[in-house]
Amino acid sequence: MRQENRGGQKETVLKVLQYIKKYRIYLVLSVLMAALTVTLTLYLPVLTGRVIDLIIDRGMVDFPGVFRILRKMGIAIALTAAAQWIMSVCNNKMAYRIVQDVRNEAFRKIEILPLKYIDEHSHGEVVSRVIADVDQFSDGLLMGFTQFFTGVITILGTLGFMLSVNVWITGVVVLITPLSFLVASFIAKKTYRMFRLQSGTRGEQTALIEEMIGNQKVVQAFSHEDEAMKKFDEINARLADCSLKAIFYSSITNPATRFVNNLVYAGVAVTGAVYAIRGGISVGQLSCFLTYANQYTKPFNEISGVVTELQNAIACAARIFALIEEEPQIPDAADAAVLTDVDGRVELEHVNFSYVPDRKLITDFNLSVQAGQRVAIVGPTGCGKTTVINLLMRFYDAQSGKICVDGADIRDVTRNSLRLSYGMVLQETWLKAGTIRENIAMGKPEAAEEEIIAAAKLSHAHSFIKRMPKGYDTVIGEDGGNLSQGQKQLLCIARVMLCLPPMLILDEATSSIDTRTEIRIQKAFATMMQGRTSFIVAHRLSTIREADVILVMRDGNVIEQGNHETLLAKGGFYANLYNSQFAPSSL
């Protein structure tokens, strides 16, 4: 496990470096400014030592020499401030543009991930990776750029200046320094594992919170609050435990390195004092050396803090890169055709599909639909009705067999042109945050106002829209805000009415609408379906009496096929389903 973490950490760092490569101009400029800052900062103790040596005794001060050195110190301080500002600007631009690139790539990957990934992963956990983990990565990256380069250059530069003053005292510093590296390395291995566990647990917690907030009505309706709290407490306890361990290991880094640094400072002070007493160095040089010793050890404290942040950042980056590197959906073939002028002929030949390999769902499914036919799909829950729709829209690909539209295998045409050929109204509504007009015009953004209003009237949404505060310009929140479920469904139906594609899919499209409105909608659907191939999934069998073909499914197979009258006359499974809904009550 430890070896895997180390390997994963190294790979993650290499991936981060690939993103940095794009902004190497900022990196080079930042390093140059860091070098200038360090050089000027280290030059100041030299000037300070010279000033001290010019102050020999009372009444024996070389004031002209002191003032000349003070002018140099003022210029050095001003240049240091300017270099630090430029370095900070470069680091911010580099860090936040890298984070922007990572977040853009992560979101683009989500858009092309197969639905299987979205179905199998908690939405909150995915959100946590794109938002919380990237923020943590950003903080660590910025701190790393700001302090890591400066710290390393300060250490190297300080050693160079100390060597120029006295080799033997510098040797004392070099001998004690490896202790600091050993302490930091030991703690870094511990912190990475804990921060990675912390990041994963945080994603789990975000997923639970999003799930509970999004379904609070159901939680309260079933008095599930206590169970939700228990689950939250359990995750929160695990998060607290791994966070405490991560913070514990990271927090001992600084005191441990400070201890080593104090040993360095004490060694320099004692050795330097002995040399000064023997006349080996002047008091000014000793003062300069002690300042260098302090500046030499200070970056170790800063770098130890940076290493802690970088461990957290790398752990978060690993989760982001895991998302970015997920296998996307099978791309369109290079020579994929674009569906145009679709008639609406659909054929399914020997189609087999299952979500889980060892659990068969659709087996040897065959269907031939003529252009303009209305096909109803009925059957008990879990029989594969919605799965057929997923296959038609190519949200999932069949494991074997083929599905054709107008004679073309849908795997040989672009997904975009295939899906634009269908109008889809689902039982589960989805509306984006924006105006009602924008939601209706989603599939046809260039639609004129008259077209949008006409579509709303056909779906019987116009009347309630006009009662809204700003009519079609009323802004609704995510997933429809305070609209009723029926009103949301009407807007989704209006969206399809506006596009009027050659084929339609209605998956329990009127399930959330009252009976009176449903009758009107059915009339609108009848008009809309005229001449268009339509697939209707319904539980209420009264809505599919006019279908040209009714497919009765059970356990992934079509067990009966025909129109309403034919299937009733057979007295089979469909007849039993229909009679169970409309037979008079025995009470």
At residue 303, does pLDDT exceed 70?
no
Helix boundaries (H) for 252-358? 253-277, 283-324
Same domain flag for 536 and 410:
yes
Choosing from 478, 500, 522, the residue where a domain stops is 500
pTM of the complete model beyond 0.75? no
Same domain flag for 304 and 437:
no
pLDDT of residue 5: 42
Does 209 fall in a domain?
Answer: yes
Q: Average pLDDT in the 298-308 region?
A: 67
Q: Average pLDDT in the 385-389 region?
A: 85
Same domain flag for 364 and 238:
no
Q: What is the pLDDT of residues 40-76, one digit of tens each?
A: 887 777 777 777 777 765 666 677 777 888 888 888 8
Chain mean pLDDT for the chain: 80
Of the candidates 297, 326, 323, 422, the one whose C-alpha atom is nearest the C-alpha of residue 369 is 422
The Cβ of residue 313 has, within 10 Å, a number of other Cβ atoms equal to: 25
Please tell me the total count of domains within the chain: 3
Q: Average pLDDT in the 226-250 region?
A: 83
Q: Average pLDDT in the 82-111 region?
A: 88
Q: What is the pLDDT of residues 503-530, one digit of tens each?
A: 988 887 666 667 776 777 777 777 778 8
What's the pLDDT band for 185 if we cut at 50, 70, 90?
Answer: low
List the structure tokens of 245.
């361990």
Q: How far is CA 128 from CA 139, 207, 313, in A?
A: 16, 8, 14
Query: Residue 48, by phi and psi: left (phi above 0), alpha (psi -120 to 50) or beta?
Result: alpha
Choosing from 293, 324, 355, the residue where a domain stops is 324
At residue 191, does pLDDT exceed 90?
no
pLDDT of residue 3: 38
**Could you give the CA distance from residue 519 to residue 525 in angstroms, rounded to a whole number?**
10
Count, residues in the chain? 587
Does 336 fall in a domain?
Answer: no
**Could you give the CA distance from residue 124 to residue 581 in angstroms, rounded to a whole number?**
39
Q: What is the pLDDT of residues 1-47, one digit of tens each?
A: 333 344 467 788 888 888 888 888 888 898 888 888 878 887 777 77
Least confident stretch, 112-126, 204-218, 451-465: 204-218
At residue 584, does pLDDT exceed 60?
no
Does 542 fall in a domain?
Answer: yes
Query: Is pLDDT larger for residue 259 or for residue 414?
Result: 414
Between helices 2-21 and 167-214, what is the axis angle to 10°? Answer: 90
**Phi, then psi, of 455 in degrees rounded to 5:** -65, -40
Same domain flag for 415 and 434:
no
At residue 389, does pLDDT exceed 90?
no
Same domain flag for 206 and 137:
yes
Same domain flag for 160 and 309:
yes
**CATH code for the domain of 468:** 3.40.50.300
Q: Average pLDDT in the 119-147 region?
A: 79
What's the pLDDT band for 78 if we cut at 50, 70, 90?
Answer: very high
Does 166 fall in a domain?
Answer: yes
Does 245 fall in a domain?
Answer: yes
Same domain flag for 320 and 384:
no
pLDDT of residue 453: 92
Same domain flag for 400 and 541:
yes
Q: Average pLDDT in the 494-508 region?
A: 86
Does 177 fall in a domain?
Answer: yes
Domain that holds residue 438: 428-500
Same domain flag for 450 and 488:
yes
At residue 587, does pLDDT exceed 60?
no
Same domain flag for 211 and 137:
yes
Same domain flag for 164 and 289:
yes
pLDDT of residue 305: 62
Does 39 fall in a domain?
Answer: no
Q: What is the pLDDT of residues 442-464, one digit of tens each?
A: 878 888 999 999 988 888 889 88
Query: Is pLDDT larger for residue 140 or for residue 222?
Result: 140
At residue 237, does pLDDT exceed 50?
yes
Does 42 fall in a domain?
Answer: no
pLDDT of residue 184: 66
Write out the E strands in 373-433: 374-378, 400-405, 408-409, 422-425
At residue 482, does pLDDT exceed 70?
yes
Q: Average pLDDT in the 164-173 region?
A: 74
Least confident stretch, 105-119, 183-197, 378-392, 539-553: 183-197
At residue 404, does pLDDT exceed 90?
yes
What's the pLDDT band for 586 if we cut at 50, 70, 90?
Answer: very low
User: 3-class DSSP state for residue 503?
Assistant: strand
Same domain flag for 165 and 279:
yes
**Could you give the CA distance from residue 382 to residue 531 in angstroms, rounded to a whole number?**
30
